[in-house]
Each structure stands twice: as structure tokens, then as C-alpha cells.
A and B are shown apart, each in its own frame.
Chain A
Amino acid sequence: MARILQLDTAVAELVNDGDTVALEGFTHLIPVAAGHQIIRARRRNLTLVRMTPDVIYDQMIGAGCADKLVFSWGGNPGVGSLHRFRDAIQHSWPVPLEIEEHSHAGMANRYVAGASGLPFAVLRGYAGTDLPEHTETISTVRCPFTGQELAAVAALNPDVGVIHAQRADRAGNVQLWGISGVQKEAVLASRRSLVTVEEVVERLPEQPGAVVIPGWAVTAVSEVPGGARPSYAQGYYERDNGYYQDWDAISRDRDRFLEWLETEIHGAERSPR
């Protein structure tokens, strides 16, 4: 059964320096508050894993939490580039950032393998691209039945998987709906997991099409209303598009970014939005 913990306690217990940490949420239900708490806890030398490192990873990379990034698409969705991510790769600021780069299909299958207890996954992928040349976790495998050569990708098994969901009950059974990304796979592939939720309820109401993750497969649940802002939580609130646009200007300049980091993260108990 999952434990219901305060967010700061959960991050302090579950996320250690040097861990491999995956925060998932495919433009919807992004665990932003948990990411900010990891920055506030001043975690270092993390290997950060995420299919779409967007604004939250730009912030964590700029804050110096990570020395490696495993990903498949790094941009500010609907706006443009990630300037902290680019600064880290192009100028090693604030610290050098190693990258391990995949396609979405490859990353999704790596989580599936990790969740399934398999060492690797098979897919039709990467053929003709330059990615395998630069990424050691991409290889090929021959089908024992047909002889076909297929792409193989190494399983992902993060130390900690972090997601945000709409609801959980007191036993930590998690319910999420709408665009569900790879959240279930990320939780099941990880050794420990933290799920922030909009609300903890006595009993989960029926919700057609919802993904349910049983509480016995989750380490900790934290009630964090608005924990996905500025992304959105279907049924609770909309995406704050202005925040994504404002981030472009804040993140372009190191000094402006550092000022943001001091006031909005270290100076705030919880990020104001």
C-alpha cells in the first residue's frame, strides 16, 4: 500500500543525489510541483529521464540538478526552443550535460521493457537514421523465427518514477484519465515511485477510460492541488499558455533565470503557479 506523504517528505525520502529519475506526463499531467521540489531540495548529479523534456526539465537542468539527460524530444511545446537545455549542451552551463537520445517509439518501448521485467524491447525503429551511431542503448536483434533484423533498445529502470494524476484514494490507488502518455509504464518500470494528485478521496468515483494504478505498486502519494500547473489536468484546470510563452524570455538569459530560480523556487514554499 502506498504511503500518503507531504511532497517535501516524499522527495527527501525517495530522491537521492545521483539517482536516475523519470518525471513523465506527455504535455498533460506534468509533475511540475514535484520537479520544483527536487530543485528546492538541491538534488545533484541526477540522470533525468523524460520523453519530452520541456519547461520543467529546462528549469531542473538550469538549476544544476542533472549531469545526464535521457530523452526523445526537447522543446517548449507550442513555443520553440529550450534555452537552458541548449545552454547546457552547447556551453556546459551550469554543468556539462551528457545526453542519451532516442525517438519517442524507442523511449516508450524502453519503459515497456522496464515495466515488463525484460532487459530490452524490440521495435521497427531507427532504420536509416544517425541515432544508433551516437546512442549506446540502441542496437539490433535478429528474430529467431523469421531472421528479420529489428531494432533493440535497452530497458529503462529508473530509481524513481514521478507522475501526476487526478485522484488517489487513501490506500494510494491512483486514477488518471485523458492523455495518459507513458505514466503507468514509468511507475511500473521504476524501483520507487511518487505520484502527486489533485486530490486524495475516500473512494475513487467511476471514471470511464481511466488508467488505474493499484496502490500496492506505488511507493508514495502526495496531495498537491495544481501540481501539474502550468500544464493541465483534464477535469481540473487548463494549460497556462502564457507561462510557456513567458518562459522563453526568462530562460534565454542566465541572470534572469537565476533571479527566477531564487524568487519562484527557493524563495517560495510552493511555486505560485
Chain B
Amino acid sequence: MSGPRPESATGAEFSSDEMMTVAAARSLSDEAVCFVGIGLPSTAANLARRTHAPGLVLLYESGTLGTRPERLPLSIGDGVLAETADAVVGVPEVFNYWLQPGRVDVGFLGGAQVDRYGNINTTVIGDDYRSPKVRLPGAGGAPEIAASCKEVLIVMRHSPRAFVPAVDFVTSVGYGRDGRARDRLGLFGSGPVRVITDLGVLEPDPETRELVLTRLAPKVEVEQVRAATGWPLRVAERVEVQQPPTENELGILRDLKATLGNGESS
């Protein structure tokens, strides 16, 4: 995707997608245990492991625990994940023993729609589930990742079609339809703590849980983010501007992406 191409601290050009991936990678602390999906989350997690977080533990829903792929996997079942894992377990085990009890620190999710309370839709677009406008792939592992990981990071490209006031279908719960429902569900995880986009970062307001703009990507204006958000976006009192990718981050990211061959998988 082509976006604005500002210059990094060292003068290298970078795309808005690269900034988003780097920002997502920086959100992962070293030695965290992270449940990863294919696509942007997988790219970001593997970038983090090669930069500031060499101790990051990666779990994929195919049952590969502690995997250290030397290239980006093309699917959650890529053989490189099994060959470089500490352990390979079956799918019932990865969900029941590893995810369900709350052992995983960070879950990394994307989706077709996210709403102002961090609820995610990957099921249908349209009001009628039985007769949708667009049928999406569905839930996969996401509902239980959203519920049971200690915290959730959401990574999505910003657009009014994707950032909607209320999702058409709650596939994975954020803070619930009213921003309060999550509290009543007794889940292990605290919910989405950050939504990282190509324009900046949204975080839930501690009181209302409504997603609020807290960081801007370099050279992006607040109005741009508002225009790309389907609800009247509130802006935090202090909005930081993200540090551009360093030369090291960009170099490693591009080398990683090159291992995919035919473009990024989803």
C-alpha cells in the first residue's frame, strides 16, 4: 500500500504500513508470551523478536509453541513454524491448555471492522447474518484470544469502512456494545489496550472505554484520522507523534518481508 512517505530519523523513506508494523512491534515487550495470527501481527512479532525483544515467545494457533521462524510463515500451518518450535501440540491443546487458562500475555488481532469500544467483526458485513452483504472468513481463534489473553493489541488500516460506530457482528469482544459489557463477562483478559493503525494509535478511555486518539504517525494530522474514523473521534489531551522507524528496524522489516516472495499473506 502506498501512503505518505516521510523520512525516518536517519533519512530513509518509509511507508505508512511500515510505520504501523514497526509501531506494533514496539508494543511487544521482551519475554512476553504472544499469540500471533498470520499477516501483519506475524510480521510485527517477528520484527520485535529480531530487534528489541529477542526473548518474545510466539504461539500460533496451529499448535506451534515458542517458534522461531527464520522467514515469515505463509500460513499458520507453515512447516517452518513446526520445525523451529519448542513444542508442537494439537489444536485442542493449544486452545484448552495454553490459551484458555490465561497463560498468554498478548493477543494480536486484526479484522474487517472495529468499533468505538474495540469490538471486532470478521464474520459478516450487513445487518442480516443469514443473508449478508459480504461474507467474511469468520472467527477462527479470535473470540477466545480476545477473551483470554491478558491484553489485546489490534492492528488495522484506518478507514471509515473499517472504523465504525458499532460493528455489524461481534466476532471478538472488546469492551462490549456499550463499553461496559466486558466487565460482566468474567473474562481473564483485560481487553484491547491499543489499536495500531497506519495513521496512529487509539487507546481506550479509562472511564468510558471509548477508543481515543493518543498518537499520530509522523506527518499525519488529527483531521486526517478523524476523516478516516466512522464515529466522532475524541483526541487525548496530549497526543504524541510516533518516532519514525530506525534504519535498523526498516532494514530488518524489509528483509523479513522479502522472505515472503509474493507479497504479504493475510
Contact = CB atoms under 8 A, between A and B. Distances in A.
A and B associate: yes
Given A79-B265, A104-B95, A129 B171 contact: yes
B219 interface: no
Given A26-B62, A109-B96, A124-B100, A71 B138 contact: yes
**Chain B binding surface, main DSSP class:** loop
A131 B186 CA distance: 18
A135 to B, nearest CB: 10
Interface stretch (A2-10, A40-48, A163-171, A177-185): A177-185
Contacts of A128: 147, 170, 173, 176, 181-182, 185, 187
Interface string A186-219: 0000000000000000000000010100000000
Contacts of B138: 71-75, 101
Given A72-B138, A90-B132, A239-B75, A27 B62 contact: yes
B90 A102 contact: no
Contacts of A239: 74-75, 78-79
A147 to B, nearest CB: 11
Contact of A124 (B38, B64, B147): B147
A178 B81 CA distance: 9
A112 B91 CA distance: 10
Interface residues of A, number: 56
A104 B91 contact: yes
Contacts of A181: 62-63, 77, 90-91
B266 interface: yes
Interface in A214-273: 231-232, 234, 238-239, 241, 245
A123 interface: yes
Contact of A134 (B96, B129, B172): B129
A104 B135 contact: no
Contact of B75 (A77, A90, A101, A131): A77
Contacts of A179: 62-64, 77, 79, 81-82, 88
Contacts of A79: 265-266
B142 interface: yes
A124 B144 contact: yes
Given A180-B88, A241-B261, A130 B144 contact: no
A209 B96 CA distance: 20
B183 to A, nearest CB: 10
A75 B266 CA distance: 10
Contacts of B55: none
Contact of A129 (B74, B83, B143): B143
Nearest to A90: B135
Contacts of A209: 88
Contact of B266 (A74, A80, A112, A129): A80
Interface in B133-190: 134-144, 147-148, 169-173, 176, 181-182, 185-188
Interface in A42-84: 51-52, 71-75, 77-82
Given A103-B144, A130-B171, A134-B129, A72 B92 contact: no
B43 interface: no
B76 interface: yes
11 contacts: A51-B91, A77-B74, A77-B75, A89-B135, A90-B135, A101-B123, A108-B92, A129-B139, A184-B90, A185-B90, A185-B92
Interface of B: 38, 61-64, 74-79, 81-83, 88, 90-92, 95-96, 99-100, 123, 129-132, 134-144, 147-148, 169-173, 176, 181-182, 185-188, 261-262, 265-266
